[in-house]
């Protein structure tokens, strides 16, 4: 379902493209890198005053956080409505998926606790200013924040009319594209809701370069380049953890299936390259399935279970990344996350990875949930976005390899094993 959003982002017209349309056609990662460079220049030029440029980022992250719970809800309902599995296979598949995700989070936390990338710099978030010390600007910001919904449902309870109107406008426009869609089986309703959420998300994600610009300018202006040193260490730590997760997959494949790991990697290279290039495990899914059946030689049922069904739930790279990000930001702030809080990070990272659609930057959307649960300031999420154009691609490869791993294990030790 996720591909629709990627193609659907802009409706094409025959008239020459406007400047905005041309900007939209530049790949997201290029826009983010440009925004990053511009942010550095503005931050250095404006100094402390660049703090104001971080406002759009706060609003964007707030909207992403509002959309995340609905995305998870609809994704889980859809997966359960459409999965056609016997109880025995569903149980085995569920167990394999859960185990892989737990291992991914365990590896992420272990690496983050060992390397401690966040300790390369210590920063204080602006949000930690006490209420008494609030400037006019902070008070204005609070008012602005109130108008932007932090949840799709809370404004209805609070009678927050401005937020209700904003939600109505967003979804009204998003659903215009669906208005002629026939609704036959009941699952169509869930699919339309899912597409509408993804469409609104794609608009917000289109604003991510603006968030990156503002945050980078604000950080450079107020704290200099210290936080970026830590980000470098974070990138290395995440890459190391992702490699360890790949090793776990290959070891399990070697021990518990008939497939040979080196040949598997070589047979799957089209899917690996595609996952990295498209930044979307959903867009890569057909290629993953084809490679598994035609090159690796798995039975269709096994490939279907891992690559088509499992992929809805299976985002180990995302889970690992969300847990590491939470720990990284806690380290950056010099905060200690208790064992209970780390366990909350584990639980929420599982949920966040299940709900993350296999599309670019989906992990960032659900990350807001993890941060909120352990009281970490959301304003650091845009800072992570400065390196996410690369890390997202890397974790997408692992998300795809997770599907491959499950398919091989479901195929068993012999090529013709009963599944
Ligand atoms: N881009 C990832 C995927 O497609 C999801 C994420 O953002 O973590 O699998």
pLDDT in tens, 301-344: 888 888 877 777 788 999 999 999 999 999 988 888 888 888 88
CA of 255 to the centre of ligand 1 (A): 28
Range from 47-61, 98-112, 335-349 that averages highest in pLDDT: 98-112
Confidence of residue 59 (pLDDT cuts 50, 70, 90): confident
Name residues contacting ligand 1 (CB within 6 A). Answer: 279-281, 315, 318, 356, 358-363, 392, 395-396, 399
End-to-end CA distance of the chain: 27
Residue 13 lies in a domain: no
Q: For residue 4, what pLDDT band results from cuts at 50, 70 and 90?
A: very low
What pLDDT shows up at residue 60? 84
Report the range of poorest mean pLDDT among 59-73, 155-169, 185-199. Answer: 59-73
Ligand 1 centroid distance, CA of 355 (Å) = 11
Task: With respect to residue 151, please indicate whether it lies within any of the assigned structural domains.
Answer: yes
pLDDT at 1: 45
Cα-Cα-Cα-Cα dihedral of 283, 70, 344, 359, to 10°?
10
Overall average pLDDT of the 247-266 stretch: 95
Which is more confidently placed, 250 or 207?
Answer: 250
Choosing from 108, 316, 361, 401 the residue with most ligand 1 atoms within 8 A of its CB, the one to mutate for a pocket test is 361
pLDDT at 49 exceeding the cut of 70 = yes
Q: Name the more confident of 287 and 241.
A: 241
In this prediction, residue 206 carries a pLDDT of: 83
Ligand 1 midpoint to CA 109 (Å): 19
Q: pLDDT class for 268, splitting at 50, 70, 90?
A: very high
Q: Which of 279, 384, 393, 403 to mutate to test the pocket of ligand 1 (most atoms within 8 A of CB)?
A: 279
Q: What is the DSSP string of 38-92?
A: HHHHHHHHHGGGGGGGGHHHHHHHHHHHHHHHHHHHHHHHHHHHH----HHHHHH
Question: Is 363's pLDDT higher than 90?
Answer: no
Report the residue among 6, 280, 368 best suited for mutation to probe ligand 1: largest number of ligand atoms under 8 A from its CB.
Answer: 280
Cα(346)–Cα(104) distance, rounded to whole angstroms? 10
**Residue 132 scores a pLDDT above 80:** no
Residue 8 lies in a domain: no
Residue 417 covered by a domain: no
Residue 21: inside a domain: no
**Residue 220: Cβ within 10 Å count:** 23
Nearest ligand 1 atom to the CA of 353 is 8
Is residue 275 over pLDDT 80? yes
- Ligand 1: atom nearest CA of 400 is 9
Of residues 306, 269, 266, 299, the one with CA closest to residue 285: 306
Label residue 124 by pLDDT band (50, 70, 90): low
Q: Which residue has the higher pLDDT, 282 or 121?
A: 282
For the chain, what is the total number of helices (H) and then of strands (E)?
A: 19, 0
Nearest residue by C-alpha to atom 3 in ligand 1: 358
Count how many domains the chain has: 1
Q: Which atom of ligand 1 has the smallest separation from the CA of 365? A: 7
Q: Is residue 69 part of a domain?
A: yes
Q: Angle, nearest 10°, between helix axes 55-82 and 208-223? A: 140
The CA dihedral of 44, 205, 152, 174, to the nearest 10 degrees, is 140
- Output 133-140 pairs: Cβ under 8 A, ≥24 positions apart: 137/52
List Cα–Cα distances, 401 to 45, 212, 229, 390, in angstroms.
Answer: 44, 29, 30, 17
Q: Is 416 a domain residue?
A: no
In order of 44, 163, 241, 313, the CA distances from 363 in angstroms are: 30, 25, 16, 13
> Any idea what the CATH number is for the domain that residue 289 is in?
1.10.3860
Domain that holds residue 362: 27-411
Cα–Cα distance measured from residue 260 to residue 247, given in angstroms and rounded to the nearest whole number = 13
Q: Is the pLDDT of residue 133 over 70?
A: no
Say if residue 418's pLDDT is above 50: no
Phi-psi region of 279 (alpha: psi -120 to 50; beta: other; left: phi over 0): left
11 is a domain residue? no
- The alpha carbon of 319 and the centre of ligand 1 are apart by a number of angstroms equal to 10
Mean pLDDT, the chain, as a whole number? 84
């Amino acid at each position: 379902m996720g591909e629709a959003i990627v193609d659907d982002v802009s409706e094409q017209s025959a008239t020459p493209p406007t400047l905005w349309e041309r900007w939209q056609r530049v790949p997201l990662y290029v826009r983010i890198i440009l925004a990053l460079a511009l942010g550095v220049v503005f931050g250095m030029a404006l100094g402390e005053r660049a703090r104001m440029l971080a406002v759009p980022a706060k609003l964007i992250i707030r909207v992403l956080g509002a959309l995340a719970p609905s995305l998870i809800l609809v994704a889980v309902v859809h997966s359960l409505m459409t999965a056609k599995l016997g109880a025995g296979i569903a149980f085995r598949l569920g167990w394999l998926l859960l185990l892989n995700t737990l291992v991914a989070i365990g590896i992420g936390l272990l690496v983050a606790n060992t390397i401690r990338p966040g300790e390369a710099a210590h920063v204080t978030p602006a949000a930690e200013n006490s209420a008494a010390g609030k400037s006019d600007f902070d008070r204005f910001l609070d008012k602005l924040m109130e108008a932007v919904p932090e949840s799709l449902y809370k404004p209805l309870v609070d009678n927050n009319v401005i937020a209700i109107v904003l939600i109505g406008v967003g979804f009204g426009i998003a659903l215009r594209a669906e208005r002629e869609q026939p609704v036959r089986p009941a699952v169509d309703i869930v699919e339309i809701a899912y597409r509408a959420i993804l469409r609104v998300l794609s608009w917000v994600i289109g604003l991510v370069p603006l968030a990156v610009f503002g945050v980078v300018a604000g950080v450079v202006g107020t704290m200099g380049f210290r936080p970026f040193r830590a980000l470098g260490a974070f990138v290395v730590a995440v890459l190391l953890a992702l490699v360890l997760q790949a090793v776990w997959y290959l070891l399990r494949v070697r021990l518990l299936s008939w497939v040979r790991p080196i040949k598997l990697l070589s047979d799957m290279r089209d899917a690996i390259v595609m996952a990295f290039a498209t930044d979307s495990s959903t867009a890569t899914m057909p290629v993953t399935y084809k490679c598994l059946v035609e090159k690796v030689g798995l039975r269709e049922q096994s490939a279907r279970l891992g690559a088509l069904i499992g992929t809805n739930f299976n985002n180990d790279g995302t889970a690992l990344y969300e847990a590491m990000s939470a720990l990284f930001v806690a380290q950056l702030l010099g905060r200690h996350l208790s064992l209970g809080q780390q366990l909350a990070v584990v639980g929420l990272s599982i949920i966040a990875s299940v709900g993350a659609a296999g599309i670019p930057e989906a992990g960032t959307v659900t990350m807001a949930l993890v941060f909120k649960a352990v009281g970490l300031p959301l304003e650091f999420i845009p800072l992570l976005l400065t390196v996410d154009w690369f890390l997202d691609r890397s974790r997408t490869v692992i998300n795809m390899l997770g599907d491959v791993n499950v398919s091989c294990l479901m195929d068993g030790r012999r090529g013709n094993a009963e599944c």
